[in-house]
Amino acid sequence: MNRIKAKLQEDKKLLSIYFTAGYPKLDDTVPIIQELERAGVDMIEIGLPFSDPLADGPTIQKSSTAALGNGMHTELLFEQLKDIRKTVSIPLILMGYFNPMLQYGVEAFCRRCFEIGIDGIIMPDLPLDVYKETYEAIYKKYNLINVFLITPQTSEERIRAIDNASDGFIYMVSSASTTGAKDGFGAEQQEYFQRIAKLNLKNPQIVGFGISNANTFQAATAKAKGAIIGSAFIKHLTQNGIGKIENFIKTIR
């Protein structure tokens, strides 16, 4: 079974961590993954850096620019990851923007993911209809789970369509914002979390954007299956390098 699906069946709230590949240093990718697994994280999103990350706030923008400056690129990331399954068993998801994937060739990209043992892909700017028409068959062929986003503005009708097209989990963007923008959830978010919970979707939801500490992690996972931390972890890496990853994870749960 796909590792993401197996993980989602565990009876616990999941902590997923996002980081940008090639940051802080070009060769940090594999050690960061290994450290995160050792620290007890449940899932990892490996960010493929892009020159124009539209949906990201300043922290991830800066890490992406730095990673590209360090020399990160798609083929190199695949090279770095090629033996990753010899050392870790944690679910791995690639997250990025669609243009680099398109240039690599969608099928070639998916094949490499499959060979490496990547379990899923998040491409926020690959829209639902294009995915269904053109790429779903390729994702399926390589046993890759495609993760879609929903936001507080997404209509119920569209949430249902996304739920139908999903086969793993739904990435629930916490508020109308780019990554990293908020610290703390207000009444509006609580209402949104409850509204989504009541829809009884077939796919569990994992909340992302604006989760930075134990408080926001708990608030986000009160209803949802898990939560994703990105910008706050990247800030930690900026300040501490890759030496104290476990300390950071311990502050979350």
Partner 1 sequence: MSYHANEKGYYGEFGGAFIPEMLYPNCEELRQNYIRIMSEPSFQEEFHQLLKDYVGRPTPLYFAERLSEKYQTKIYLKREDLCHTGAHKVNNTIGQILMAKKLGKNRIIAETGAGQHGVATATVCALMGIECVVYMGEIDIERQAPNVARMKMLGAEVRAAKSGSRTLKDATNEAIRDWINNPVNTHYIIGSVVGPHPYPDMVARFQSVISEEIKWQLQEKEGKENPNYVVACVGGGSNAAGAYYHYLDTPEVGIIAVEAAGKGVNSGESAATSALGKVGIIHGSKTLLMQTEDGQITEPYSISAGLDYPGVGPMHAHLYKSGRGEFISITDDEAMTAGLEMSQLEGIIPAIETSHAFAIFDYKKFEKDDVIVINLSGRGDKDLQTYIDYFRL
What torsion do the CA atoms of 16, 1, 148, 154 make, to the nearest 10 degrees? -90
Contact residue for partner 1 among 149, 196, 206, 224 (CB under 8 A): 149
Instruction: Give the burial class of 4: count Cβ atoms within 10 A of its Cβ; 0-12 exposed, 13-18 middle, 19 or more buried.
Output: buried
CA distance 146 to 6: 15
Q: How far is the CB of 246 from partner 1 (least distance, A)?
A: 32
Can residue 130 be called a binding residue for partner 1 (CB under 8 A)?
yes
Can residue 40 be called a binding residue for partner 1 (CB under 8 A)?
no
158 vs 250, which CB is nearer to partner 1?
158
Angle at 94 between CA 109 and CA 89, to 5 degrees: 105
Contact residue for partner 1 among 158, 160, 195, 250 (CB under 8 A): 158
Closest to 33 in 3D by CA, of 233, 250, 225? 233
Contact residue for partner 1 among 26, 30, 39, 68 (CB under 8 A): 68
Q: How far is the CB of 75 from partner 1 (least distance, A)?
A: 8
Q: How far is the CB of 182 from partner 1 (least distance, A)?
A: 10
Contact residue for partner 1 among 31, 40, 127, 241 (CB under 8 A): 127
Can residue 181 be called a binding residue for partner 1 (CB under 8 A)?
yes
- 133 given a catalytic annotation: no
Rg (C-alpha) for the chain, rounded Å, is 17
Considering only the stretches 91-99, 136-144, 231-239, 240-248, report the one whose residues sit in contact with partner 1 under the rule CB under 8 A: 91-99
Are the C-beta atoms of 128 and 162 separated by less than 8 Å?
yes
**Catalytic residue chosen out of the listed positions 45, 79, 107, 183:** 45
Beta bridge partners of 145: 120
Number of residues in the chain: 253
With CB under 8 A as the rule, give the number of residues binding partner 1: 39
DSSP 3-state of 145 = strand
Contact residue for partner 1 among 5, 26, 104, 223 (CB under 8 A): 104
Residue-wise DSSP of 87-103:
T--S-EEEE--HHHHHH
Considering only the stretches 6-14, 25-33, 149-157, 190-198, report the one whose residues sit in contact with partner 1 under the rule CB under 8 A: 149-157
Q: Map 49-83 to HEC letters.
A: CCCCCCCCCHHHHHHHHHHHHHCCCHHHHHHHHCC
Can residue 126 be called a binding residue for partner 1 (CB under 8 A)?
yes
Contact residue for partner 1 among 70, 88, 98, 143 (CB under 8 A): 98
Residue 65 C-beta-side C-alpha neighbours within 13 Å: 9
Can residue 93 be called a binding residue for partner 1 (CB under 8 A)?
no
- 163 given a catalytic annotation: no
| Residue numbers annotated as active site | 45, 56
Q: Which residues bind partner 1 (CB under 8 A)?
A: 50-52, 54-55, 57-58, 61, 65, 68, 73-75, 97-104, 124-127, 130, 148-151, 153-155, 158, 173, 176-178, 181
